[in-house]
Amino acid sequence: MVIVMKLNSSPEQIENVNNRLQECGFQIQMIQGVKRIVIGAVGDRQSINTSTLETMPGVEKVLRIMKPYKMVCREVRGEDTVVQVGAAEFGGNRLAIVAGPCAVETKEQLYAAARAVQKAGATVLRGGTYKPRTSPYSFQGLEEEGLHLLAEAGAETGLATVTEVVDEESMRVAARYVDILQIGARNMQNFRLLRLAGQVKKPILLKRGLSATVEEWLMAAEYIVSSGNENVILCERGIRTFETSTRNTLDLSAVALVKTLTHLPVIVDPSHATGKRELVGAMSRAAVAAGADGLIIEVHPDPSMALCDGPQSLNPEEFDELMRRLHPLAVAVGREI
């Protein structure tokens, strides 16, 4: 349920409500809105008389949340959550552009990509260092060596950094180097990893699972937020369907839908969704038109030499052209880039 406090409620009144809820076994989350303070409470509603709760000083009203995802739903927070990471803003008026290679391969490759995407207008550098691959014989990433390089490239270019983590150890190590931790599609329902993500002091980029429903995706975000980390960025990256013409099927309707269901920011990965570089531009523009808060795009200095995902990676010139074409569209939908 949600307890909406009055505009003039005092800190003491808010603390009294919190104490009452905790005594009844509720997990609480304070939400400081633009106009008022809201207290999100998750627990057994039978353990407390909501009518009595409404009579407590400072309480305006008590609302019951029907959705299974309590903390991330719109009923808890009407305003959009904005996750600020360096110069990048996820969920605000400015579109967040995340770009870089699928995998960190060499210092030269990463620095060339970082400088190119920074020059074109990206604010976050992506680079895989722990690579969950379908084949055990495929390139698995440079791990901590790659994290060193990613941190150095980010520092040189002024870009925030993001990399995927796959287990508790990689999360612990990566948190020392990068600004954002990504939980990939294959781990979206790794519930232990989600709880651990709720305990770190880093924003989490949560990709939608290969065949996950919207509710399952939001429930995964609920694991993170309910464990203490409110800085979650959702990422639609295509889902698995019967269609084989593209790598996945980009579900842009989910972007528009999720924006009505949750206050969390939502970005789109057109690279993994399509698997074809010639489709990345069109789907990037479509994502912005659908209301996405940003994009994550694979960019490699020489895609033909990439150790993974070369066919879906843009080269620096193609990325620069995409950014130029996104500008007027962003303005048309009331956003900045």
HEC secondary structure over 187-199: HCCCHHHHHHHCC
pLDDT digits (tens, 9 = 90+) for 146-183: 999 999 999 999 999 999 999 999 999 999 999 999 99
What integer pLDDT is reported at residue 131 of this predicted model? 83
In the three-class reduction of DSSP (H, G, I as helix; E, B as strand; rest coil), residue 300 is classed as: coil
Residues 6 or more apart whose CB falls under 8 angstroms from that of 77 comprise: 31, 33, 38, 263
In the predicted model, what is the mean pLDDT of residues 20-25? 90
196: left (phi over 0), alpha (psi -120 to 50) or beta: alpha
In which element (H, E) is residue 267 found? strand 266-268
According to the model, what pLDDT value does residue 34 have? Answer: 63
- Residue 35's pLDDT band, with cuts at 50, 70 and 90, is low
In this model, does residue 201 exceed pLDDT 70? yes
Asked if residue 33 has pLDDT above 70, the reply is no
Set out the domains of the chain in order of their start, with CATH numbers.
Answer: 2-63 (3.30.70.1140), 83-332 (3.20.20.70)
Instruction: Answer whether 124's CB lies under 8 Å from 295's CB.
Output: no
Q: Is the pLDDT of residue 46 over 80?
A: no
Nearest in space to 18 (alpha carbons), one of 38, 44, 45, 35: 38
pLDDT digits (tens, 9 = 90+) for 98-142: 999 999 999 999 999 999 999 999 999 999 999 877 788 787 889
What's the mean per-residue pLDDT of the chain?
94
* 337 vs 279: which has the higher pLDDT: 279
Give the pLDDT of residue 99.
98
**The predicted structure's pLDDT at residue 241:** 96
The string of pLDDT tens digits covering residues 55-91 is 999 999 898 888 889 889 988 887 899 999 999 999 9
Distance in angstroms (rounded) separating the CA atoms of residues 152 and 335: 31
The model carries a pTM of 0.90
What CA–CA distances, in Å, run from 248 to 135, 208, 294, 308? 18, 12, 19, 16
Per-residue model confidence (pLDDT) at position 50: 81
